[in-house]
A = this chain, B = another copy of it.
Amino acid sequence: MAKKYVYAFGDGKAEGNAKMRNELGGKGANIAEMTNLGIPVPPGFTISTEASTRFMESGGEHPDGLDEQVSKHIAVLESRMGSGFGDKDNPLLVSVRSGARISMPGMMDTVLNIGLNDRTVQGLARRTDNPRFAYDSYRRFIHMYGDVVMGVEHELFEGLLARRRQKAGVEQDNQLSVKDLEELIEDYKGLVKSEKTMAFPEDPRRQLWGAIDAVFESWNGNRAVVYRRIHGIPNDWGTAVNVQAMVFGNMGEDSATGVAFTRDPANGEPRFYGEYLINAQGEDVVAGIRTPMSVSMQVSDEQSGISLEAKMPKAYGQLVAVYKRLERHYRDMQDIEFTIQQGKLWLLQTRSGKRTGRSAIRIAVDMVSEGLIDKREAIKRVNPDQLEQLLHPMIDPTINAEPITKGLPASPGAASGCVVFSVEEALQSVAKGDKVVLVRVETSPEDVEGMKAAEAILTARGGMTSHAAVVARGMGKCCVVGASELQVDYQRKTLLVKGDTIEAGDTITVDGTTGHVYKGRLRTVEPILDDFYNQFMSWADEFRKLRVRANADTPEDAENAVQFGAEGIGLARTEHMFFKEDRIPVVREMIMAANREERVRALRQIQPMQREDFLGVFRAMQGRPVTIRLLDPPLHEFLPHDDEDIANTARHIGRSQDEVRAVVSSLQEFNPMLGHRGCRLGITYPEIYEVQAEAIVEAAIAASREGIDVKPEIMVPLVSIKQELVELRERIQRVATDVMNREGVHIRFLIGTMIEVPRAALLADQIAEVADFFSFGTNDLTQLTFGFSRDDSGKYLADYMSKGILHGDPFETIDQAGVGHLVRTAVEKGRRANPKLKIGICGEHGGDPESVAFFGAVGLDYVSCSPFRVPVARLAAAQVAVENSR
Q: Does A178 contact B (CB under 8 A)?
A: no
Contact check, A792 vs B670: say whether CB atoms are below 8 A apart.
yes
Contacts of A818 in B (CB 8 A): 720, 758-759, 762-763
Contact check, A786 vs B762: say whether CB atoms are below 8 A apart.
no
Per-residue CB contact flags for chain A residues 279-291 toward chain B (1 = under 8 Å, else 0) read 0000000000000
Contact check, A759 vs B786: say whether CB atoms are below 8 A apart.
yes
Contact check, B787 vs A684: say whether CB atoms are below 8 A apart.
no
Q: Does A454 contact B (CB under 8 A)?
A: no
Contact check, B721 vs A792: say whether CB atoms are below 8 A apart.
no
Provided the pairs A676-B795, A787-B674, A819-B759 are in contact, do residues A727 and B669 lie with their beta carbons within 8 angstroms?
no
Contact check, A723 vs B805: say whether CB atoms are below 8 A apart.
yes
Give the residue name and chain of the B residue nearest to A794 (CB).
Answer: B676
Contact check, A780 vs B787: say whether CB atoms are below 8 A apart.
yes
Q: How far is the CB of A222 from chain B (nearest CB, A)?
A: 15
Q: Does A803 contact B (CB under 8 A)?
A: yes
Give the residue name and chain of the B residue nearest to A807 (CB).
Answer: B723
CB-contacts of A659-700 with B (<8 A): 669-676, 680, 683-684
Q: How far is the CB of A340 from chain B (nearest CB, A)?
A: 50
Number of interface residues of A (CB under 8 A): 49
Q: How far is the CB of A668 from chain B (nearest CB, A)?
A: 9
Per-residue CB contact flags for chain A residues 190-210 toward chain B (1 = under 8 Å, else 0) read 000000000000000000000
Contacts of A815 in B (CB 8 A): 759
Give the residue name and chain of the B residue nearest to A662 (CB).
Answer: B487
Give the residue name and chain of the B residue nearest to A719 (CB).
Answer: B787
Q: Does A292 contact B (CB under 8 A)?
A: no
Contact check, A796 vs B759: say whether CB atoms are below 8 A apart.
no
Contacts of A769 in B (CB 8 A): none
Q: Does A800 contact B (CB under 8 A)?
A: yes
Q: How far is the CB of A805 from chain B (nearest CB, A)?
A: 4
Contacts of A740 in B (CB 8 A): none
Give the residue name and chain of the B residue nearest to A805 (CB).
Answer: B723
Q: How many chain copies does the complex carry?
A: 2
CB-contacts of A702-744 with B (<8 A): 718, 720-721, 723-724, 727
Task: Tell me the bound Cα distance from A740 to B787 in angstroms.
Answer: 35
Q: Does A504 contact B (CB under 8 A)?
A: no
Q: How far is the CB of A681 from chain B (nearest CB, A)?
A: 8
Task: Tell me the bound Cα distance from A799 to B724 in angstroms.
Answer: 12
Per-residue CB contact flags for chain A residues 451-486 toward chain B (1 = under 8 Å, else 0) read 000000000000000000000000000000000000
CB-contacts of A769-789 with B (<8 A): 780, 783-789
Q: Does A806 contact B (CB under 8 A)?
A: yes
Q: How far is the CB of A496 from chain B (nearest CB, A)?
A: 12
Q: Does A822 contact B (CB under 8 A)?
A: yes
Contacts of A785 in B (CB 8 A): 720, 757-759, 762, 784
Q: How far is the CB of A562 from chain B (nearest CB, A)?
A: 33
Contact check, B683 vs A821: say whether CB atoms are below 8 A apart.
no
Contacts of A675 in B (CB 8 A): 789, 792-793, 795
Contacts of A721 in B (CB 8 A): 786, 800, 805-806
Q: Does A791 contact B (CB under 8 A)?
A: yes
Q: Does A616 contact B (CB under 8 A)?
A: no
Give the residue name and chain of the B residue nearest to A799 (CB).
Answer: B684
Contact check, B723 vs A796: say whether CB atoms are below 8 A apart.
no
Q: Does A505 contact B (CB under 8 A)?
A: no
Q: Does A817 contact B (CB under 8 A)?
A: yes
Q: Does A343 contact B (CB under 8 A)?
A: no
Q: Does A804 contact B (CB under 8 A)?
A: yes
Contacts of A676 in B (CB 8 A): 792-793, 795-796
Task: Tell me the bound Cα distance from A757 to B680 in angstroms.
Answer: 22
Contact check, B819 vs A786: say whether CB atoms are below 8 A apart.
no
Give the residue name and chain of the B residue nearest to A675 (CB).
Answer: B792
Contacts of A795 in B (CB 8 A): 675-676, 684
Q: Which of B680, B791, B800, B803 lies in contact with A670, CB distance below 8 A?
A: B791
Residue among A684, A792, A800 facing the most chain B CB atoms (10 A cut-off): A792
Q: Which of B683, B758, B804 lies in contact with A805, CB distance below 8 A?
A: B683
Residue among A727, A758, A804 facing the most chain B CB atoms (10 A cut-off): A758
Contacts of A805 in B (CB 8 A): 683, 721, 723-724, 727
Q: Which of B787, B793, B806 lies in contact with A718, CB distance below 8 A?
A: B787
Q: How far is the CB of A419 from chain B (nearest CB, A)?
A: 21
Contacts of A799 in B (CB 8 A): 683-684
Residue among A670, A763, A788 facing the most chain B CB atoms (10 A cut-off): A670
Q: How far is the CB of A564 from chain B (nearest CB, A)?
A: 32
Contacts of A680 in B (CB 8 A): 796
Contacts of A787 in B (CB 8 A): 673-674, 718, 720, 756-759, 780, 784
Task: Tell me the bound Cα distance from A822 to B762 in angstroms.
Answer: 8
Task: Tell me the bound Cα distance from A683 to B756 in angstroms.
Answer: 28
Provided the pairs A780-B787, A785-B784 are in contact, do residues A671 and B724 lie with their beta carbons within 8 angstroms?
no
Contacts of A672 in B (CB 8 A): 670-671, 792
Contacts of A759 in B (CB 8 A): 785-787, 815, 818-819
Q: How far is the CB of A68 from chain B (nearest CB, A)?
A: 40
Contacts of A671 in B (CB 8 A): 671-674, 789, 791-792
Q: How far is the CB of A185 from chain B (nearest CB, A)?
A: 44
Per-residue CB contact flags for chain A residues 832-862 toward chain B (1 = under 8 Å, else 0) read 0000000000000000000000000000000
Contacts of A792 in B (CB 8 A): 669-672, 674-676
Contact check, A796 vs B683: say whether CB atoms are below 8 A apart.
yes
Contact check, A674 vs B796: say whether CB atoms are below 8 A apart.
no
Q: How far is the CB of A766 from chain B (nearest CB, A)?
A: 8
Contacts of A803 in B (CB 8 A): 683, 727
Give the residue name and chain of the B residue nearest to A673 (CB).
Answer: B671
Give the residue name and chain of the B residue nearest to A757 (CB).
Answer: B787
Contact check, B817 vs A786: say whether CB atoms are below 8 A apart.
no
Contacts of A819 in B (CB 8 A): 759
Q: How far is the CB of A687 from chain B (nearest CB, A)?
A: 14
Give the residue name and chain of the B residue nearest to A806 (CB).
Answer: B721
Task: Tell me the bound Cα distance from A822 to B822 in angstroms.
Answer: 11
Contact check, A674 vs B757: say whether CB atoms are below 8 A apart.
no
Contacts of A789 in B (CB 8 A): 669-671, 673-675
Contact check, A674 vs B788: say whether CB atoms are below 8 A apart.
yes
Give the residue name and chain of the B residue nearest to A726 (CB).
Answer: B805
CB-contacts of A798-818 with B (<8 A): 799-800, 803-806, 815, 817-818
Contacts of A783 in B (CB 8 A): 674
Q: How far is the CB of A767 from chain B (nearest CB, A)?
A: 11
Task: Tell me the bound Cα distance from A718 to B670 in angstroms.
Answer: 19
Per-residue CB contact flags for chain A residues 638-676 toward chain B (1 = under 8 Å, else 0) read 000000000000000000000000000000011111111
Contacts of A673 in B (CB 8 A): 670-671, 674, 787, 789
Task: Tell me the bound Cα distance from A672 to B674 in angstroms.
Answer: 11
Q: How far is the CB of A683 from chain B (nearest CB, A)?
A: 6
Give the residue name and chain of the B residue nearest to A669 (CB).
Answer: B792
Q: How far is the CB of A721 from chain B (nearest CB, A)?
A: 6
Task: Tell me the bound Cα distance from A786 to B787 in angstroms.
Answer: 12
Contacts of A718 in B (CB 8 A): 787
Known: A669-B792, A723-B806, A763-B821. 15 other contacts (CB 8 A): A670-B672, A671-B671, A671-B791, A671-B792, A674-B787, A674-B792, A675-B793, A683-B799, A683-B803, A684-B795, A721-B800, A723-B805, A758-B784, A766-B817, A784-B784
24 contacts between A and B (CB under 8 A): A669-B789, A670-B672, A670-B789, A670-B791, A671-B672, A671-B791, A671-B792, A674-B674, A674-B793, A683-B796, A683-B799, A684-B795, A720-B786, A720-B818, A721-B805, A721-B806, A727-B803, A757-B786, A758-B818, A759-B819, A762-B785, A763-B817, A784-B785, A784-B787
Shortest beta-carbon contacts, A-B, top 6: A674-B789, A759-B818, A671-B789, A669-B792, A675-B792, A757-B787
